[in-house]
Amino acid sequence: MSTKTIMLVCAAGMSTSMLVTKMQKAAEADGVETDIFAVSANEADSYLESKPVDVLMLGPQVKFLKKQMETKVEGKGIPVEVIDMRDYGMMNGKKVLDKALELSN
């Protein structure tokens, strides 16, 4: 299985970086190769231009960007999803990872 690249986008990239760590641990435990990283909404464009991304997930605090992000990745086959607010609040890395992997298949 190839490495799945999952980009998380949030307001500043701070709280989401904790979720990234939990997702990486869950991926390791499941034996899934991933490249998971968090960026602020302001940085998202440059990462989308410079790095191949399999899934783009938005933090609940930036869910208003969903349509805008879908437009940016149109034709690239990159699913865009808002992270479930409960999973985000509980920092449930396993559930968020599972959703991202489901979207990337």
Which amino acids are annotated catalytic?
10
| Selection from 62, 61, 18, 63 nearest residue 36 by Cα | 18
Three-state SS at 23 = helix
Residue 4 contacts residue 35 (beta carbons within 8 Å): yes
The one-character DSSP state at 100 is H
Sign of the CA dihedral running 105, 62, 87, 46: positive
Tokens of 70: 């879908």
